[in-house]
Amino acid sequence: MIDLRSDTVTKPSAAMREAMARAEVGDDVYGEDPTVNRLQEMAAAFLGKAYALFVPSGTMANQLSIRVQTRPGDEVIIESRAHIVRYEQGAAAALAGVQIHGLPSERGILDPVQVDAAIRPKEPHTLPTGLICLENTHNSGGGSIYPLASIERIREIALAHGIPMHLDGARLFNAVVATGVSAAEYARHFETVSFCLSKGLGAPVGSLIVTSDRPMVDKLRRFRRMYGGGMRQAGILAAAGVYALEHNTRRSQPSLLTRIAWKRTSSYSTLSVPVGQPRRSWQVSRKRGCS
């Protein structure tokens, strides 16, 4: 049986496990783990940024990025079904003290006109808009991919208002493979970008935040420690991420699991369920003769 509930249920390959077993380690709280440092350098280079920080989870990556770019009482503009809104336990309010301004959309893709209209005017009776967050690909939107032109237009609006942007790129490499647009091209429109090693890239754990702002990465490191994300000999985990970036970034096409499932379950009847952008379908299988 092939489990298609999520790309998070994958298990490390034998080669990835070997890389983890052989990892050179140190104390990452002191910045002395060579494998973590290598992973961070690779991640920054992949996304065209100067710095990267390894953290335990995608939720922590998003929440740290919100924390360092906002102040308590700020408002964050975001799509109403985004991962930050639906699946992070209200952390933005609890940990950063910000208010979410969720905007409805078609398959998770915000219209630049919506974003522009949602920015609060600078006057005494309203709270300030502190951050704009996008998610690419959009999980609750069925893996929908942000058109680069939309990101560019939203970036223009944000710059005009002096508002920073964060990209929840948990599955960014799906968009890279599907569109041919580089991760760096997507990332250059955001002050911070997060991406997961355990979603589509096959690693067991871990995410990264990238930025080109040195004071910001110092703040990220401080808040990572505050949020309980400081790890010691984390190179064992980082080695899986190094392996993933070296071997798996071109294998994250959304249809890969579908093709594998089809080859291995040719004796099953299938129901093709379209999920919108990108144009793909999941194969929901039922053994012939079974209910």
Query: Where in the chain are the domains?
Result: 7-247, 256-287
pTM: 0.86
- Reduced to 3 states (helix: H, G, I; strand: E, B; else coil), residue 241 is helix
The one-digit pLDDT tens for each residue of the chain (291 residues) are: 788 888 888 889 999 999 999 999 999 999 999 999 999 999 999 999 999 999 999 999 999 999 999 999 999 999 999 999 999 999 999 999 999 999 999 999 999 999 999 999 999 999 999 999 999 999 999 999 999 999 999 999 999 999 999 999 999 999 999 999 999 999 999 999 999 999 889 999 999 999 999 999 999 999 999 999 999 999 999 999 999 999 988 765 444 443 333 344 333 333 343 444 554 444 443 433 333
* Residue owning tokens 């280079």: 45
Q: Cα–Cα distance between 106 and 15 in angstroms, integer? A: 40
> Whose CA is closest to 1, among 198, 278, 283?
283
For 62, counting Cβ atoms within 10 Å of its Cβ (0-12 exposed, 13-18 middle, 19+ buried), the class is: buried
The third-level CATH classification (topology) of the domain covering 7-247 is Aspartate Aminotransferase; domain 2 (3.40.640)
Q: Is the dihedral of CA 14, 18, 21, 24 positive or negative?
A: negative
The dihedral region occupied by 185, where left means phi > 0, alpha psi between -120 and 50, and beta the remainder, is: alpha
242: its two tokens: 């190094």
Q: Alpha carbon 223 to chain centroid distance?
A: 19
Contact yes or no for 15/29 (Cβ under 8 A): no
> What's the one-letter identity of residue 103?
L
- Reduced to 3 states (helix: H, G, I; strand: E, B; else coil), residue 14 is helix
* Residue owning tokens 């959304």: 254
The dihedral region occupied by 48, where left means phi > 0, alpha psi between -120 and 50, and beta the remainder, is: left
